[in-house]
Structure 1
Amino acid sequence: MRKILTIFPLAENVHLTKDVGMVPFIMHKFYNYDATLACYSSGPFPNLEIDTPGLKLLRIPKITGVATLDTVFFLLRHARRFDILIGFHYSFFTGITTTFFKLLNRFKRQKVVYIKLDAKEDIFKMKERKILRKLMGFADILSIENTSIYNPLVREFENLLYVPNGFYPKNPKYLLPKKNIFLTVGRIGSPEKSNDVLMNAFAKVAKLLPSWNLSLVGPIHEEFQSFISSFFSKHPDLKERINFTGPIFDRKELMLKYNESKIFVLTSKWEGFALVFLEAGIAGCTIVSSDILPANDVTNNGRFGRIFPVDDVDALKEALLNLAKNEEFLKNNSTAISSFYQENFYWPNILSTVNNKIETFLYK
């Protein structure tokens, strides 16, 4: 059985259900690899047996407190035991540690490095960052999680794959009817989330959509409390129509929240391939997103939702109003978007491409 090592020093329990844990776990469960995640933390990891059974953990000793150096020392001891190394992000840490893995195994042909870049717009400056580009060149496989970056770069890198984030396992189909709810989930009030834009847009459509409410799920950023107070002093009539639930840690309860909502809204200034898109789409929510990198992917180029310019309250208002008044579209779209997500963002399907690419290196 081939052995995979995933390096992510700062991994904690929460990362097991994100790509850091899901990629090695799915490779283990569906493609018969022995998979290990290496990190600083020794736990606890309660999600390990629940969500990623069979995934092994290996602790990186914190010798210097500098992640790159500690990982290099860790690889000196362990690198030769593994056939495939998986790294994350477009960074010098990933470039140095994956290159070091290749150098330690330079006389062994069947060793593979895969980097899931999760890149943002700054990757287009790769040509200017010659050292980092050189380090990334040691990788056998690179992947990008959105087509906005993948399409311009695929001709330049023959080893580049499109690998979006995914979900697992397939969720049960709930039978609860959807309600007239605009939903957002995340760190409410964090500056990059622009939740003020959502609340202001809702205030503009509230009288035109008297049966609709707004629900914000997640911890509230302390500095956002002053905005909330000011907002409700201007719109006291909306106190009963805007619900701050706080964080919902129980995943079944959270999925029920998605399931009962008709429209999911993300107003971020910037964002990677956020897992909230997947949760909302699987639950049949129509997606409204600011014009961030994954917006076209998660709405199928606007077919299953709407995209509006970042921080444009009026454009968001129009998107919410038009969708909320089109009940037939929302009903039909709920089934269509859920099917689209089940087909295109299921982790075992997504990673089949990665597995096929790895096998071309292992068995050539």
Structure 2
Amino acid sequence: MKIVLYFDLFGSKYENIYQYKDIYQFPKKLKNILNGNLELNFYSKNEENKFFFIENNKTNISNNIFNFLMTLFLQRKKTDICILFHVRLITFCLFIIYKLGNKNNKAFLKGDVNLKYLKDIYSNKFFFKGYLYRYLIRKTDIFFVETKECYEFLKEKKLNNIEIYSNNFDNNLLSEMNIVKKEYSQKKNIILHVSRVGTYPKNTELLLEILENIELNNWEVYILGKIEENFKLKISEFFDKNPHLIENIKFLGQITDKKKVYEYYNESKIYLCTSRYEGFSIAFTEVLIFNNYIITTNVSGAKDITNNNELGYICKREEDFIKKINILLKDEEQISKLDKKREEYIKKIFSTKHIEDKLKEII
């Protein structure tokens, strides 16, 4: 069975962290359960990407959109399952080309959407594009969403091709990287935040406002991620205003070595997400695996990853963050006592075995 992924990289440079994200992990799982051959096709204007490949899979990266689309057209009848990502115009075009004279072969679309985006699609916000997006969702053989709320919303639209695929952590990576999960008593007093620092969706301003109102004492905050140039001045101003926090808060920049990132997850106790909006963040499942207590805004996946506030905490406003963090720093038992429940929840919902078994049932 031939499984082929088509994906637009938006012109960005392909970095090795992509192979840990759902654009590779999802088709990889399909390959495993169907015992098929996997081919990866990317479009990007970035010349550096043409030297990239993932593991032993056939990987094609084109910087010419015509060649990218022509590859799909010529290979469509030799492809058993075509995997697409995101509800966008380029995805609509890929779907239409793939189905030309090829209606019997399957097209799976992993939406990577949040509830707000779906509501916009089914309102008049996108005008004609909204019609195209609704057609794409309705006509693809299986449309995968990541959260229960998105699934329930689309089921109300009387769609029968909707399935939940929760982004998960590949459990095999721990043994491959020789990482041993630490017990709570072995962890350090670290609060972790991972994002593209200073971008609008990640809302780093809120993070800084929260941190200047936290009694950190012997706790440290590690902030991982590329820092936007226009945000560096705000960081300097923050430390000018709060010089007592210089030793507690560390901006570590972008770390592309995934093993090193996992080691930070393994050492930390609390994970903060202040985003305005997200798809289902892969980081959520990664930090959950390492038994971090997740405190987050109500982004897509927050209810799923915290099991409706049982294993973490969803905040509506800045004051909620401040109050909850200060409570946890004074009473760590509220974090450690949930370790067993997290392990059970991961096994039930987010383990590789559970995800692959569910895909077998669907397909």
Q: Same fold (TM over 0.5)?
A: yes
1:252-308 Cα offsets, whole Å, 9 max, x none, are 222121111110001011111112112211111000011112110111111111111
Partner of 1:138: 139
Q: Distance in 1 between matches of 2:245 and 2:334?
A: 26
Partner of 1:7: 6
Amino acid paired to 1:161:
E
Partner of 2:127: none
Partner of 1:263: 270
1:317 deviation in Å? 0.3
Q: Distance in 2 between matches of 1:81 and 1:61?
A: 23
In the alignment of these two chains, the number of paired residues is: 340
Q: Distance in 2 between matches of 1:161 and 1:327?
A: 37
Contact 2:199/2:228 (8 A) holds in 1: yes
Q: Scaled by the length of structure 2, what TM-score is found?
A: 0.86
Partner of 1:319: 324
Amino acid paired to 1:91:
R
Q: 1:160 aligned to 2:162?
A: yes
Contact 2:138/2:159 (8 A) holds in 1: no
SS across alignment from 1:192: coil
Q: How does 1:1-364 map to 2 (within 5 A)?
A: 2-10=1-9, 12-14=14-16, 15-40=18-43, 43-45=50-52, 48-49=54-55, 53=56, 55-60=57-62, 62=64, 65=65, 70-106=67-103, 109=104, 111-120=105-114, 121-127=116-122, 128=124, 129-155=130-156, 156-170=158-172, 171=174, 172-175=179-182, 177-206=186-215, 209-309=216-316, 312-358=317-363
Q: Scaled by the length of structure 1, what TM-score is found?
A: 0.86
1:218-264 Cα offsets, whole Å, 9 max, x none, are 22221111111111121111111111122222222221211111100
Question: Which sections of structure 2, spanning at least 5 residues, go unmatched?
Answer: 125-129
301 and 92 in structure 1: CA distance in 2 versus 1, 3 angstrom threshold: same
SS across alignment from 1:303: coil
1:60 deviation in Å? 4.4
Q: Distance in 2 between matches of 1:105 and 1:255?
A: 43
335 and 190 in structure 1: CA distance in 2 versus 1, 3 angstrom threshold: farther
Question: Which sections of structure 1, spanning at least 5 residues, go unmatched?
Answer: 359-364
Taking only the aligned residue pairs, the percentage that are identical comes to: 28
SS across alignment from 2:212: helix
Q: Distance in 1 between matches of 2:61 and 2:182?
A: 43
Taking only aligned residues, the RMSD between alpha carbons, in angstroms, comes to 2.2
Q: Distance in 2 between matches of 1:294 and 1:226?
A: 32
Contact 2:50/2:61 (8 A) holds in 1: no
Q: Distance in 1 between matches of 2:356 and 2:88?
A: 22
181 and 118 in structure 1: CA distance in 2 versus 1, 3 angstrom threshold: same
